Structure formats: C-alpha cells, structure tokens
Structure 1
Amino acid sequence: MAEDNDTSTNALVTPVIRGLRLLEYIAQGGNTQNLSEVGRLIDVNRVTVMRLLATLEHEGMIEKLPGGGHQVGLRYLTMSATALAGHDLVAAGRRVVRDLCQTLGLAAYLSLPDGQDIVYVVREMPPAGLVSLITIGSRVAAHRAAPGQAILAARRAADGGGVSRLASSADISPEKLAAQLDDIARSGVAWSHSGLEQGISACAAAVLGPDGQPVAALSVAGPSARFDDPSVQAQVGQKIMQSVRQLSSISNISSVQ
C-alpha cells in the first residue's frame, strides 16, 4: 500500500498543482498585484507566479483587471457553468432564481454550502443592476452572509442545537451566533442589513434535503432603502419561502414545509 501511495505521489505534475492553486486563489477573490505575497501563499517564488499568471491568461482562464490584478476569465466561467449544469439542484435553481429576480426586481442567487463557507453558483441581476462584489464563484464565510446564516440555522436545527463546529472561525461569540441562528430558524428566513456589503440588504432561506440538512440557499439582495417598508420585507420573505418549496419540488429534494 505504501508503494502504491509513493507511485501515486510521484505521478503528480507539480506545475499543474501550482497553477490550480493559483487559479483557486484568484477565483476566491485573491489579489495578484503583490507577486511576492501571492508566491508565499501558494508556496512558489515570484518568477513562477509571473509565469503561471501569463500561462493562465494566455489560456483564457484569467484576465487582467483595469485597476491591476486578475479575475477569472470567460473560459473558466464557461467550464464551470458547463460542469454545474449537470448538477440537478443547480439546473433547477437557475429557473427559480430567474423567477425570483423577475418577480421582486432584486438580484437573486443560489448558494451551496462548502464546509464553513458558502459559494454563490447562480446569479440573476435585475435590469437596474446592483453594485456588488458578489459574483458567480464568490466564496464567503457562512456566518457573514444571509444565505450562509440560513444554512447554518438549518444545520443547527438538524443537529439538535449544536454550534461548536460552526463558531470556531466566526468573529462573533458562540452564544450570540446561537441566538441569531435560533431566530432565523423560527422565522424561516435570514435577513442581513449592510452585513456583508454596506448599503445592501439581503433575505435568504435554506433548501433542505430529505435528512433535514441544508443543501443550498436561495437569496435576494438590493439597496437597503428598498426594504424600509415592513410590508415589503414580508412580501420578500414570503416569496423566498415559496421559491424554496418550489426548488425542493423541482429537484426532488424533500423540504420542511
């Protein structure tokens, strides 16, 4: 068995590993302007970083930003979209997210849990747009964003009230996080007002699997002033919950009614 492991390790192509690490770093919003710092983070020297960036840019996997640095390129996004299209939940989510956006006139998103983070995998923007740093592929600590909070609240409820595995990296106390998640579980939706981005409010609810564990979250976001009227908040929350049930039905995932 040890021999098999050695053979497997020896078969790895180091430059490919380095390129993938760099691509993942950029996809997560990492800044590439300081080449030495990037090299330290992915364990390569400055010259190697330059070569990797040039290679990824040549292949269309990344592109330069006007103000410096890089973002993922169209080829990367196309490949990601093609892969995600085969995911039943994501494919169904596109229709539901589009309906949310068109009905409410707000930016709408589908997010998937990944450990203590969430990853935004579907986004639909209203005609007026929304000035936001959240794009497809954005990764955020779950406790910092409404969809992540909805997922954490559902996970806490399914686990019988535990928060230890959720709070280890949170910048709030376990007690405060637990109280916040309990409020969300009772209402069914999570609200965030300028919690992730200043001047932007968001509402989210979790999609649950057959075992009661959250498998995704639907959310909408817009300028905070849009939500000053309590009746608007009620309408948005109701539509989010309706969409969660719809997505659960379409994707054959059982959800708590």
Structure 2
Amino acid sequence: MSRTTVNAARDDRAAVDKAMALLNAFGNDALTGVGVSELARRADLSKSTAFRLLGMLQRNGAVERAGNAYRLGKMIQNLGVSQETTSHGRIRDALTPYLADLYELSKQTVHLAVLQGTDVVYLNKLYGHLQVRSPSRIGGRAPAYCTAVGKVLLAYDSETAEEVLRGELSAWTPATITDPEAFRRELDQVRRSNLAYDREEILTGLNCIAAPVMGPNGRPIAALSVSGPAGKFDPASQANVLRKVCYAASRAMAAVNARQQHQLRLVQGA
C-alpha cells in the first residue's frame, strides 16, 4: 500500500470521527436545532471545520438547515423510526377522508398531525396546487411550538405546553416566537378562536392555519391544517373551510367512540 493510500485512509477516519462527534453533539436538541458555533463547541471542533462537515452531512440528508440552526435530517431520523403505533394508525385511517375533504375544498397542501411529546408527528399529507418547500413529511416530526398544528394541540395540553416553555424556543426563522410570554399569549388566542397560525415561523416563505379535531373528552385527538406559500396564500381565507371539516371530523370521532362504548357495555352485560 502506498504512502498516499495510507494517508488518505487516515484522513478518512479522522473525517468520520469528526462527523460522528458533530452528530453526537446535537444531543437533546436533535429535533429543535443547534447553531454552528454551539455544535463546534460541543464537538471540540473549529467553527470552519464544523461548517464544512455540516455541509457534507446536509448533502447526504444526515442534517438539515433550519434558519441559522441545524437539526438531524431525514436519513438519521428514519434510522430510529419505529413502526406506526396502533393509536396513530387508527387516527390516520379515521381522519384521512376528512383530510381529503379539506384538500378538495381548499386545493392547498393539507396535513393531519398529532402531538407526541413536545413535537408533532405528521400522520398524513396531501399536496396542493401551490407547491412550497416544507419541512413536513408523512411520519416526520417537528417542534410543536413553531407549527400551526402544534400550537393548536399545545393550547389544549397545558402540561406539555409548560414543558415546551421550560425549554429553549429556538428561532427557526426571524418570525419564530421565542419569547415565553408572547407564546403564552399566542396559545390564549388559539383557545379563544380555535385556530392557530404559523406565519413563516418554521420556514421562511411558508404560512399555515390549523384547527383541532376534538375527542369526546373535550380535548383534541389530532389537528388538520392548510398551508401554502407566503405572498400567494392567505391562511385566514381557509378558516371557515377548516372549521367546517374539523367539526364534521369531531362529530364522526364522537360517533365512533359512542359505538365503541355501547359495544363494550353489551359485552360487559353479557
């Protein structure tokens, strides 16, 4: 083996070690994002080296850019994705027809999402006529605090909302709400209107409106949303359509629950 080949192998190993240190440096911020300087500090790398490696990892889907921060990308996240839970599967199957109704009425990109921890998980997505770059994907996750579906679910879950507020509200874009008191006011407004907005808060150029699908206990079991490109799509224009579809979906879920309870009583009385 030539000296050149040996040196190249050594260089490759060094690069891999540095890349792994950088990936490990995300820690608990893997989904919410970390800036280059902080990642470099955690991984004991120079900022220029960290920036170069992040570019390489981004090209390969291992990390993705979110404003001035980075988070773990689809490739890394998918390695640890477990199979869909039974509960999520039931919600997706029951509510996808209403998601389709929402798409037909809006002709925009629509989402079905649930809350899992302090993130939202997208159970389904239908693409609209106005294409826009979006961080959402079926089976993917996003921080709840900077998404419309997440806000509308957090508004009815005070325990999780407080957990979010105890953490750092990282700025995904210049429009992200990062002040805890401002975010509390935002959730108050969501509860009053039963609607939540994402005004370019997770991705510059993307606007969204969401509403809850309520369960029999008066709390949301999921959220539906409509999104489109800022400047071309006015999310408030979809408020009535969204409310109509979510109301129908909530009634349907209540009927399903009533049937299940009736069948359970029959079994118990047999």
1:113 aligned partner: 115
1:137 aligned partner: 139
Q: Which residue identity does 2:60 align to in structure 1?
A: G
1:68 aligned partner: 60
Take 1:66 and 1:205, find their aligned partners in 2: how far apart are those partners? 33
- Structure 2: segments with no counterpart, 5+ residues: 1-17, 28-56, 63-73, 170-177, 258-270
**1:249 CA displacement:** 2.5
**1:85 CA displacement:** 9.2
Take 1:176 and 1:66, find their aligned partners in 2: how far apart are those partners? 32
Take 1:130 and 1:116, find their aligned partners in 2: how far apart are those partners? 25
**1:40 CA displacement:** 6.5
Asked whether the 8 Å contact 2:209–2:227 carries over to 1, the reply is yes
Asked whether the 8 Å contact 1:110–1:218 carries over to 2, the reply is yes
Relative to 1, partners in 2 of residues 1:206 and 1:126: Cα closer, same or farther, differing over 3 Å? same
Q: Which residue identity does 1:133 align to in structure 2?
A: P
Percent identical across equivalent pairs?
23
Q: Which residue identity does 1:143 align to in structure 2?
A: Y
User: What SS does the corresponding residue of 1:246 show, helix, strand or coil?
Assistant: helix
Take 2:180 and 2:198, find their aligned partners in 1: how far apart are those partners? 18
Asked whether the 8 Å contact 1:94–1:122 carries over to 2, the reply is yes
**1:227 CA displacement:** 3.5
User: What SS does the corresponding residue of 1:101 show, helix, strand or coil?
Assistant: helix
Q: For residues 79-117 of structure 1, what are the alpha-carbon distances to aligned partners after superposition, in whole Å with 9 as ceiling and x for unaligned?
A: 957x66973221022111122122211110011101211
Q: For residues 106-145 of structure 1, what are the alpha-carbon distances to aligned partners after superposition, in whole Å with 9 as ceiling and x for unaligned?
A: 1100111012111111100024433212111221121111
Q: 2:236 aligns with which of 219, 233, 236?
A: 233
Take 2:215 and 2:253, find their aligned partners in 1: how far apart are those partners? 10
Q: 1:92 aligns with which of 91, 94, 102?
A: 94
Take 2:26 and 2:230, find their aligned partners in 1: how far apart are those partners? 36
Asked whether the 8 Å contact 1:142–1:148 carries over to 2, the reply is yes
2:246 pairs with 1:244: yes
Relative to 1, partners in 2 of residues 1:196 and 1:163: Cα closer, same or farther, differing over 3 Å? closer
1:194 aligned partner: 200
Take 1:169 and 1:197, find their aligned partners in 2: how far apart are those partners? 20
Aligned length: 193
1:20 aligned partner: none
User: What SS does the corresponding residue of 1:140 show, helix, strand or coil?
Assistant: strand
Q: 1:221 aligns with which of 219, 227, 230?
A: 227
1:38 aligned partner: 23
Q: Which residue identity does 2:123 align to in structure 1?
A: V
**1:151 CA displacement:** 0.8
Asked whether the 8 Å contact 1:112–1:215 carries over to 2, the reply is yes
Q: Give me the TM-score of the superposition, normalised by structure 2.
A: 0.60
**1:254 CA displacement:** 9.2
2:162 pairs with 1:164: yes
1:179 aligned partner: 185
Q: Which residue identity does 2:196 align to in structure 1?
A: A
Q: For residues 169-215 of structure 1, what are the alpha-carbon distances to aligned partners after superposition, in whole Å with 9 as ceiling and x for unaligned?
A: 24234322221111111111011211111011000012222222222
Q: Which residue identity does 1:210 align to in structure 2?
A: P
Asked whether the 8 Å contact 2:214–2:222 carries over to 1, the reply is yes
After alignment, is 194-203 or 120-129 more displaced? 120-129
Relative to 1, partners in 2 of residues 1:165 and 1:35: Cα closer, same or farther, differing over 3 Å? closer
After alignment, is 215-224 or 241-250 more displaced? 241-250
Q: Give me the TM-score of the superposition, normalised by structure 1.
A: 0.63
Q: Which residue identity does 1:96 align to in structure 2?
A: Y
